[in-house]
């Protein structure tokens, strides 16, 4: 079967760095996405990785290792507004998105 | 770029009535649109995938006669919840992907429609 695993909840301090991990087992791979979803709102696109390595975009970076079936989202200089759920999703061989359950990130002052 | 709108943002209706939700891609042509529902504190659940000009593909367990999807143009898809019941109350979100974005594989989400059936 297809499976995406990410921690249910994480807590971090304002100004710090946090890494949210995602491991996956899917039938085929056509890229991995990270989305941010604030409570009561729809997801917003953060990043897309299809090749191994680190993609940096401002305070957010996303890493992919296809051989390990592993990705992480790194958030630096955390701000209170970063409190949200972070969704990992993998596009399988049929170009369907397989969604993780999301990681709720709580930022404390 | 890659803006998706959804209307209405919130709807309250009586049990037994039908509700139509519109999803529009504003600045790109969406060859594929997706409809999700999400219950509080739960993950996104894909309901169906629709390609412009063809019938929607429904996920297992989703009643196609209850959730009617029409994708008549490259910028508009509609979801009609027919004979809505309280258990249909949920957050419905559409997403779109297609031509003209940074990556053609990326799904861009509408803001969602919160449906409450009394």
The string of pLDDT tens digits covering residues A23-41 is 999 989 999 999 999 998 9
Mean pLDDT of chain B: 90
**DSSP letter, residue B59:** P
From A48, A91, A99, residue closest to B44, measured CB to CB: A99
Q: What pLDDT is attached to residue B40?
A: 83
Question: What is the nearest CA distance from A58 to chain B, expressed in angstroms?
Answer: 17
Least confident segment among A1-5, B22-26, B60-64, B103-107? B103-107
- Flag if A41 and B110 touch (Cβ within 8 Å): no
Question: What is the nearest CA distance from B37 to chain A, expressed in angstroms?
Answer: 10
3-state SS, chain A, equals CCEEECCCEEEEECCCCEEEEEEEECCCCCCEEEEEECCCCCCEEEEEECCCEEEEECCEEEEEECCCCEEEEEECCCCHHHCEEEEEEEECCCCCEEECCCEEEEEEC
Task: Examine the pLDDT at A95 and tell me if it is beyond 90.
Answer: no
Q: How would residue A77 be classed by pLDDT, with cut points 50, 70 and 90?
A: very high
From A44, A48, A102, residue closest to B109, measured CB to CB: A44
The string of pLDDT tens digits covering residues B61-104 is 999 999 999 988 889 999 999 999 999 999 999 999 876 555 56
Q: Are strands B57-58 and B45-51 parallel, antiparallel or unpaired?
A: antiparallel
From B42, B106, B110, residue closest to A42, measured CB to CB: B110
């Amino acid at each position: 079967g297809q499976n995406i695993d990410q921690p249910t909840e994480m807590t971090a301090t304002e100004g710090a760095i946090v890494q949210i991990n995602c491991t996956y087992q899917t039938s085929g791979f056509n890229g991995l996405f990270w989305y941010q979803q604030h409570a009561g709102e729809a997801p917003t696109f953060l990043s897309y990785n299809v090749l191994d390595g680190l993609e940096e975009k401002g305070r957010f970076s996303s890493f992919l290792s296809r051989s390990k079936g592993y990705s992480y989202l790194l958030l630096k200089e955390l701000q209170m507004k970063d409190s949200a759920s972070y969704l990992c999703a993998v596009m399988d061989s049929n170009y369907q998105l397989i969604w993780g359950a999301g990681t709720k990130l709580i930022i404390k002052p | 770029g890659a803006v998706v709108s959804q209307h209405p943002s919130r709807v309250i209706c009586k049990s037994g009535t039908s509700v139509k939700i519109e999803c529009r891609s504003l600045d790109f042509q969406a060859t594929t649109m997706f409809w999700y529902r999400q219950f509080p504190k739960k993950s996104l659940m894909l309901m169906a995938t629709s390609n412009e000009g063809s019938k929607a593909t429904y996920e297992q367990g989703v009643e196609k006669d209850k959730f009617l999807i029409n994708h008549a143009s490259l910028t508009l898809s509609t979801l009609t919840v027919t004979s809505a019941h309280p258990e249909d109350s949920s957050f419905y979100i559409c997403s779109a992907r297609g031509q003209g974005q940074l990556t053609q594989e990326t799904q861009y989400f509408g803001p969602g429609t919160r449906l409450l059936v009394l």
